[in-house]
Structures are given as C-alpha cells and as structure tokens.
Amino acid sequence: MPHPNDPKLRSFIDVAPDSHFPIQNLPYGIFSARDGLAPRVGVAIGDYVLDLWQLAQDCRFDVVEPAVFAAPQLNPFMALGPKVWSSTRARISELLRNDHPELRDNKELRRRTLVPMADAKLHLPFAVAGYTDFYSSKEHATNVGVMFRGKNNALQPNWLHMPIGYNGRASTVVVSGTPIRRPRGQLKPPTADAPSFGPCQRLDFELEMGVVVGQPSVMGEMLTEAQAEAMIFGFVILNDWSARDIQQWEYVPLGPFQAKAFGTSISPWVVTREALQPFRLHGPAQDPKPLPYLQQKQPNNYDLQLEVGLCAAQMNAPANISRTNFKYMYWSSVQQLVHHASSGCAMNVGDLLGSGTISGPEKDQRGSLLEISWNGTEPVELAAGVKRSFLEDGDSLVMRGWCQGDGYRVGFGEVEGTILGAE
C-alpha cells in the first residue's frame, strides 16, 4: 500500500492544487451537519468532510470502535496512541484513493459519508486539558526586549538556555469563528499615578502554532526527545490574543495573567505530525549549546508558511500584514514538551502547547501588531485612510498556514476572530 504521504497519491475527489486538504493531509476535526446528528469526528478532504463515524458504523475500520468517532472531541481517538493514529490514517488514505473502488464506487456510502464543507459546522476539535504558552522565537523576544529594555539587554539571561513559558487558561480556548470580547482590566499608563479599571486600549494578536498532545506522561518522570515526539498528535494554528496595556501593569513579578486569559483561538483542523513529516528541517543553530536533556538529534522544526490578514470593519477584504515561517523558531515543539515534563510535570491527552509568537528576521515577518507597529509608533496602513497600531472593535483577524509540496499543499485552513466591544 502506498504511504499516505506519497506525493503521487490522488483522491477520487477533485482537490485543487492550492487546497489545504489534499489526500496527503487528512486532518482531523469535529463537525456537525444538517442531518441533525451530534458533533462527531471527521477528516477534511478537498471541499468535503469525511464522516468517520459513518464509515466505522459500516465496519470500514478494523482497529477503532465506532464510539470513538461518535465522540464530540478527538481525545478518545488520540488516547489510542501512535500506532492506531498511523494505521487509521493509512486506511482513510486507501478509502479515498482514486484507484481504490471501495468508497469510490459505492454511491450510497459516499452519500452518507461525504459531507460538503459548506454544509458542515466545525467545533473545537479536542477538549483542552491544559494550556501552556511558550516564548520561543528569538526574533520576537529580541524585538520586544529592544522595545522595552534596549538593545544591550534585549534577551533575558535565561532565554538562550531553556524554552520560557507560562501556564494559561484552557477554559477560554475557542475554535475559529468565535468572536472575542475586548477584555477589561487594570490599566496604568506610565503617566498615571494610580491604576484604573476599564477596556483594554492596546489589543493585539499573536501568530502561533499549537501542539496537540495525544499521549500522557507519568508524573515524576522526564521525557526523551523520541518520547516527546511520539506524544505529539498534531498541530493547529493558534492566535493568542493579548492585552498589551493590561499586561504591562500586571506582569511583574509573575508574568502574564488576565492579559492572556480572556481568549485563545485555534483552527478547527488538527494536522497530524505524520502528515507534516516531509516538511521537517533543522531549526536555527543554538548557541550556547543547550543542556543535555534539551539537545536534539532529529530535525524538529517545520517549513510551514504562515500569513496574517487584518480586515477593519470598513474594509471589504483583509489586508495582509505578515508573512513568516514556523522554521524560524529557536526552540522546537519537541524541546518545549521535553522541558515541560523535565520537572516531573505530568502531561495529559488534550494538552495544548502554544509555540509563542512566530516572527522572522524581516520586518514583514513579524507576528504581532506590537512588533509590526513598533509599540504603536509606526502604524500599519491597511487600505486608503485605514491604519492600525492595535486592534479596534469590529476588526477581524485571520491566520492561514500551509506546507508546500510538489503540486499540493498540506494546510491548516484558517483561524479567524472578530473583536467585539467591551460590555
């Protein structure tokens, strides 16, 4: 049987070359349709969602019980482990191949299992057990450090020695398309003598990737590089909305709190680690050399193109304000997971790890408005007369990402959120 990543594979379903969902991808998500059935597990293929529960009901899988695909989140499937993930993806690939008649020539089964994407509602793909946000782009950390501490003290002394992170709120991780209410909090501009309470005035986005942990680790035990890699089920695009002015006042001495707790948006499709395998590469050279437990033997970064579009309420279409690449990350997702467990911290099925803002070396590769507008001093022009330093009510922010193969893309779709005014 051909490997599901084979670039020569073609589906019997027509898939455009620029589609994010060719047969080489097969990302998992949770969907509901007009059939009135409860949310369940599906796979994206072209402009369709393949209903895995219906396929399982028809006895098309040998190793997965239908109830796993009837669940309203991916957690039960992820808990089955890497061997089941891989065999299930191979079986789905076989069913969708243009030279395999099993589904292709069964009109009734196609009718029941292939749902037009336009008729599907996409839900949060997994129950988020815990959420940790990292700070792993050297370019981003340097830009922020220069802004607030100057060139000579841009990176904190610990930054080059370990992935820096903080524990966020799983309760406010939401799926793409969920509106984001402008947060309120304590504000204290440098010119004020005392804080006040009110709506955030410097609302920002952060372009990130999210790691979806599919296997648990044992409390009190460390992880090797290989163990951490095997625990990763897949990735989502992640927007970690950020209230810069609330954070400025609250972050000393323990870091972000309410400035990040109000909302984190993720894309509805989880692209598996296996689907991204052809796009792996080594990340930037790490100097000084990390401590032994963080050293890597494998290429753990990805050549994954990312772009951000911002659409103000008075605009007809988003204006692109950033194009960057996940390959620039100094600390890899595997290193983040290894470090997270290094104290003995137990990881759970459904844990979400944010990569941290992804910025590249060029100005147009910055992954936040804080950097793009250089803390508000250089507003970005979106359209005739429309400028932004930070997000305003009614603004819509959309992120997209994909890996470019030979004649196909392995993509994530998009994550979108529109800002609502504070109540």
- Is residue 22, in this structure, part of any structural domain at all? no
* Residue 167 placed within a domain: yes
Does residue 387 fall inside a structural domain? Answer: yes
- Same domain for 393 and 336, yes or no, is yes
Query: Same structural domain for residues 264 and 248?
Result: yes
Looking at residue 423, its pLDDT comes to 81
Say if pTM beats, i.e. exceeds, 0.85.
yes
220/231 Cα distance (integer angstroms)? 17
Query: How many independent structural domains does the chain possess?
Result: 2
Domain span at 88 = 28-123
Do 275 and 329 belong together in one domain? Answer: yes
Is 342 part of a structural domain of the chain? Answer: yes
Residues annotated catalytic, as ranges: 140
Q: Which of 123, 157, 174 is the C-terminal boundary of a domain?
A: 123
Q: Tokens standing for 167?
A: 């524990």
DSSP for 223-269 reads --HHHHHHHEEEEEEEEE-EEHHHHHHH-TTT--SHHHHT-EEE-S-
Q: Which of 123, 140, 159 is the last residue of a domain?
A: 123
What CATH number did the domain enclosing 299 receive?
3.90.850.10
Ranges of residues in the chain with a pLDDT under 70 are none
Q: Which of 123, 151, 176 is the last residue of a domain?
A: 123
pLDDT at 1: 80
Same domain, 247 and 104: no
The verdict on residue 330 lying in a domain is: yes
Per-residue model confidence as pLDDT tens digits over 351-368: 999 999 999 999 999 999
Residues 403 and 341 in one domain: yes
Domain-located, residue 10: no
410 and 292 housed in the same domain: yes
d(CA 208, CA 173): 13
Q: Please report how many Cα atoms fall inside a 13 Å half-sphere around the Cα of residue 150, on the Cβ side.
A: 2
> Does residue 342 sit in the same domain as residue 206?
yes
**Statement to judge: residues 240 and 305 lie in one domain:** yes
Q: 106 and 140 share a domain?
A: no
pLDDT in the model for residue 380: 96
Is 86 in the same domain as 136?
no
- Look at residue 160 and tell me if it is in a domain: yes
**Shared domain check, 164 and 104:** no
Whether residue 296 sits in one domain with residue 264: yes
Name the nearest CA neighbour of 40 among 74, 63, 78, 64: 74
Cβ–Cβ contacts within 10 Å for residue 110, how many? 15
- 7: Cβ–Cβ under 8 A, 6 or more apart, which residues? 24, 278, 405, 406, 407, 408
5 assigned to some structural domain: no
